[in-house]
Chains A and B, each alone.
Chain A
Amino acid sequence: MNRKVNLIKNLDWITIMLYAILVFLGWINIYAAVYNEDHQSIFDATQRYGKQLIWIGAAFFIAIIVLTIESKFYSAFAYPTLILMVLLLLAVLVFGVKVNGARSWFQFGSIRFQPAEFAKFATNLAIARYLSQYNFKIHRIKSLFITGLILFTPAVLILLQNDTGSALVYSVFILVLYREGLSGFVLFLALLAAIFFVFTLIYSSFAVAILIVAIAAISLKMIGVQTKQIIIALTILAGSFGTLWLINKGADLKLGNFSLSFVAILLNAIPFLIYTYRQKIKKAALILALVIGSLFYTFSVSYIFDTVLEPHQQQRINELLGIKSDPYGAGYNVNQSKIAIGSGGFNGKGFLNGTQTKFNFVPEQSTDFIFCTVGEEWGFLGSALVLILHLSLILRLVFLAERQRSSFSRIYGYGVAAILFFHIAVNVGMTIGLAPVIGIPLPFFSYGGSSLWSFTILLFIFLRLDANRLELLR
């Protein structure tokens, strides 16, 4: 009895309130999105909004169950849970049914269940468990390997189900790792990689090569190399590039500018190393290595884009970056989505008055594109409110995570915040044309039991851990 009172007292009711508000808003927006004159009752269980209410009710019970379980259980059973999920992910590859091209669903009668959704909290538990080990050092090879194993196993299995969106979620754990001591340099490299990727596609690999050289020049300046020396180095590089360009032209070798610049840099690498070694410029070698590495990466971007990505993924990225636009083809969804949101104006068209979403101009309006209904019917005010509620929840989670005594709880909390963030960023970003079209749900909003329950479990495990924040979990 006393424990129960304590539990209720120790629960973070602010988070629960935010959760409840978001779930409620999600429900009425699903109602608006698939509103049907023949089934006006929001409780009509033959319609998605009626069903969503059932899922919400179930989520409530799930939350209670999650909260009543002893918090030690979660750390103790972190690994077995993950193993179970991995087995389910394997099983779904064999026994699953295909929905929208992804073999990621189990079907029991009329009920479908998506293990990928539940793999998230399982992975999060396992990561929290592994990283919170006594004397854990993240930069050890073994640590990185096992961390990678925990993250990549479910991600790859989900990728095999052809559910790219859910697989990409695991990339967000880099933020958790960063919080736990991963070098900021890795984060910076990841950022650079993203920038180079986009630049290579929008402009050309040669443009990126110039960018890389420019960044290298600035880096050299920052480590104390004289401007004069940098200018000489750049002149030599430009000179060798020019010579190569003429040879290429003369001999008709048909090499691209990027290849020429690559060769020019490689040719100058040895003299550069010898010179900098003699001048005792220590980090120059590192910068050179990064330049060459970046060039290799840039070179492979086009290759990855052309061979690894599937045509529809290429189209979506082309569409996003504005390289190719086809508002009635690959860009149809995003274009319609932007029209729906844009037509909402400042305060929206009003509840149930949306036209773009209601008349099916926007695809997947109750699941992946649910934010369109918010944007159209509630306008800028409503969409800003939803985003701010989500941000508040995430920041609240960060705050809660930081107050944990046990690293397990903290790491898990960061995981929850990061996963929610990734979903919001990609889902909303997609609807407003800032992210490629990747089908992942908007937490608490998108229609569907699996995602709602998975987010509920994810969140309430943390709330359970937080209620025991003073305990030290191992």
Chain B
Amino acid sequence: MNNFSNRRFIIGGIFAFVILVFLIRLFNLQIVNDQYKLSAESNSQRRVTQYAARGLIYDRNGELLVYNQAAYDLMIIPRQVKTFDTLDFSNLLGIDKEDIIKRIKKAKRHSRYRSSIFMKQISSERYAVLQEKLYKYPGFFVQTRTLRKYPHQNAAHTLGYLGEVNDRHIKKDKYYSQGDYIGKSGIENTYEKILRGAKGLKVYWVDVYNRIKGSFNDGDLDKNAVEGKNITTTLDINLQEYGERLMQNKKGGIVAIDPKTGEILVKLSSPGYDPEMFVGRAMSKNYRKLANNDTLRPLFDRSMMAKYPPGSIFKLVQALVGLQEGLITPTTRIPCRGAYYAGRFKMGCHHHKSPLDLKQSIQHSCNTYYAQIFREILDAPRFSSINEGYTNWRKHITSFGFGAKLGTDLPNELTGFIPKASYHAKVNKTQNWKSLNIVSMAIGQGPLLITPLQMANMVACIANRGHYYIPHIVKSVGDNESIDPKFLKKQQTTINPEYFDPVIEGMDLVVHGGEGSTGRSSAIKDIRVCGKTGTVQNPHGDDHSVYVAFAPKDDPKIAIVVYVENGVWGARYGAPISGLMIEKYLKGEISENKKYLEKRMLEADLISPKEETISNNHE
């Protein structure tokens, strides 16, 4: 009977073999493989983000521009949801039953066990009612978030907006996780790290039903949220608001700078939009609406992103370079016969007396004058080639901040375009190109491109008699923490201070020169305004009107550029709007005698189809 007793080894072997296989498997599960430890953590911990309140934004006078408003997201954990009264629920939320079912399905697709957003940004009124009844709906809870809120409907481009982070943001900066908001443009973007503060974290133990079972490791991993710092901008919101009103129904931009500091007082692009449009649920819809507006392009920040040929205002810089190079003096007189002639070449000018000295050339914006001195600058005998002469000229021009980013603290700054000598060599297909080839640049035409911000900076340079501070939008951060030191550093142009006075005199004449002064309408009682008109040829329609100015003449407090697309010529809209802006800024109100001008500007409509004919063709 015991002849099979050796089989005990086989049977025992089977037992031992199976247990051995189990041990190997356990070794693999518990020691070799990490994946299960990670899964266990995400299983049983709930990391609740403590959102930090975003920093507030003020204007230069302490006026609140951006603050936070609580918003409520209704969250759902599908597994915990029990059958409920859909009718009551749909009344509470204002959505129909089908929608509820659809949303639950969507949440289930995301996860049955984890929370996801059931309904975004419930209004506080609805929330108040909902909160009392929420106990009837297990599986639903409310998560508080903050949304931006704007007391003023202005400066939308400058302030910027928030949007949900995308994968790229998350990859770039580990701080962000899905569903976070990030500044997508404007100050919200450049000062993101200061405004956002730091998220906090609370880690809880949760059970399989996602019920909180207590603090994880006694709160070892918890981190308090750090509030974002507040920012005081350099903007003057009253002036900004006034500028936006003046620019209503017009396309264009205004930039105003305090020349003494480089602080941007006003920066606007018209038409703009209400910053409130980019808050919360309506954002994507509004964004599409605005982005698809091809003709007006309200999202396009013209003050920084539009590149225009500068037109006649560029003559100011040309005059300064001519003086610096010793090719002209304030008394140099150049005759003009209604056009600039060079051999068979002719560049038209307009009616004015002749000959003109420097300041008169500015007053009358004489093309001949500048064509001649520009060519003299380029062809000066001390240069061995046109390339050398041009490069020397370009050095002077770029010292005003043209042709490169100024380095301001706003995103999307553009460089504009001041071509290098090689550009002309390439266009003219010879190293031996002639100054005459580019003579249109003398009067700010040709390939030159300059942004309104750069134009404003140029005016600041002139107002300061030779230097500028990098224009910037933030005055202080938090409790008067200082800003980037680069904004406090004086940037010197290549022009000696003494050469500015004759140019400024010319600008004075533009406003106060009596007959033939294109900037008369910017004049203000008791304040000496210096200005310069410009017109930029527009092949697509009416020319663009541009006007630069600063005031007061002897103690400049504001430098401004007003750019009105299809504004025909500088005197028409640019000058009066500049004058009103300056007066508003310096005096606080518009004097009685200019009310009619203010009214005309406010009512002017260059966007709606118009019939008015333009009679005055003078500049």
For chain A residues 11-62, which have a beta carbon within 8 Å of chain B? none
B44's partner among A361, A383, A414, A418 (CB-CB below 8 A) is A361
Q: Of all chain A residues, which has the CB nearest B37?
A: A343
| List of A residues within 8 angstroms of B206 by Cβ | 359
> Which of the 9-residue segments A121-129, A218-226, A386-394 touches chain B?
A386-394
Q: Of all chain B residues, which has the CB nearest A361?
A: B208
> Which of the 9-residue segments A147-155, A177-185, A192-200, A438-446 touches chain B?
A177-185
| List of B residues within 8 angstroms of A384 by Cβ | 23, 26
For chain B residues 9-64, which have a beta carbon within 8 Å of chain A? 10-12, 14-16, 18-19, 21-23, 25-27, 29-31, 33, 35-37, 39-41, 43-44
B207 in the interface (beta carbon within 8 A): yes
Can you report 18 residue pairs joining A to B where beta carbons are below 8 Å apart?
A: A178-B11, A179-B8, A181-B4, A342-B29, A344-B30, A355-B43, A355-B205, A356-B40, A358-B207, A359-B205, A361-B208, A376-B40, A383-B30, A387-B26, A391-B15, A394-B15, A429-B22, A432-B29
B251 to chain A, nearest CB (A): 56
B9 to chain A, nearest CB (A): 9
CB atoms of A180 and B22 under 8 A apart: no
CB atoms of B11 and A383 under 8 A apart: no
Given contacts A361-B208, A428-B22, A429-B22, contact A342 B35 (CB under 8 A): yes
CB atoms of B30 and A380 under 8 A apart: yes
Q: Of all chain A residues, which has the CB nearest B79?
A: A328
Q: Which residues does A use to contact B, with CB under 8 Å?
A: 175, 178-181, 184, 328, 336, 338-346, 355-356, 358-361, 375-376, 379-380, 383-384, 387-388, 390-391, 394-395, 398, 401-402, 407, 414, 417-418, 421, 424-425, 428-429, 432-434
CB atoms of A434 and B21 under 8 A apart: yes
CB atoms of B30 and A346 under 8 A apart: yes
A342's partner among B4, B36, B44, B205 (CB-CB below 8 A) is B36
Interface on chain B toward A: helix, strand, loop, or mixed SS? helix
B427 in the interface (beta carbon within 8 A): no
B47 to chain A, nearest CB (A): 14
A340–B213 alpha-carbon span in the complex (Å): 18
CB atoms of B31 and A359 under 8 A apart: no
Interface on chain A toward B: helix, strand, loop, or mixed SS? helix
B209 in the interface (beta carbon within 8 A): yes
A420–B95 alpha-carbon span in the complex (Å): 59
CB atoms of A341 and B37 under 8 A apart: no
A379–B113 alpha-carbon span in the complex (Å): 26
CB atoms of A179 and B21 under 8 A apart: no
A340–B26 alpha-carbon span in the complex (Å): 12
B594 in the interface (beta carbon within 8 A): no
A178–B11 alpha-carbon span in the complex (Å): 9
A400 to chain B, nearest CB (A): 11
| List of B residues within 8 angstroms of A358 by Cβ | 207
| List of B residues within 8 angstroms of A340 by Cβ | 40
CB atoms of A432 and B22 under 8 A apart: yes
| List of A residues within 8 angstroms of B31 by Cβ | 345-346, 380
B158 to chain A, nearest CB (A): 48
| List of B residues within 8 angstroms of A383 by Cβ | 26, 30
| List of B residues within 8 angstroms of A346 by Cβ | 30-31
CB atoms of B40 and A387 under 8 A apart: no
| List of B residues within 8 angstroms of A379 by Cβ | 30
A345–B205 alpha-carbon span in the complex (Å): 20
For chain B residues 462-517, which have a beta carbon within 8 Å of chain A? none
CB atoms of B25 and A175 under 8 A apart: no
CB atoms of A387 and B22 under 8 A apart: yes
A261 to chain B, nearest CB (A): 33
Q: Of all chain A residues, which has the CB nearest B21?
A: A434
